[in-house]
Amino acid sequence: MCSLTIRGCDDALMDAIRRESLSRPESINKLVLEALAARNGTAQKTRRHQDLDALAGTWS
């Protein structure tokens, strides 16, 4: 795993990134990684499970 520092980000861009991060339940780091992956064409598609796992063990 590598580290990346982004310099030269103006206040308007950082404010937009913060607002987007707050509107989703994601960190700024994850948001930026997803944006870079989508732009690069290497984004992983998330699978949405439609099963009954959430109900397991909740009934008697």
Mean pLDDT, rounded, of the chain: 85
Residue for token pair 């949405």: 48
Q: Does residue 58 register a pLDDT over 90? A: no
How confident is the model at residue 47, as a pLDDT?
66
What's the rounded Cα separation, in Å, for the pair 26 and 29?
8
Does this model's pTM top 0.85? no
Residue by residue, what is the 3-state secondary structure of 8-60? CCCHHHHHHHHHHHHHCCCCHHHHHHHHHHHHHCCCCCCCCCCCCHHHCCCCC
How confident is the model at residue 7, as a pLDDT?
94
Q: Does residue 1 register a pLDDT over 90? A: no
What's the rounded Cα separation, in Å, for the pair 4 and 16?
20
Tokens of residue 47, six digits: 């699978």
Read off the pLDDT of each residue in 2-25 and give the average, rounded to a whole number: 92
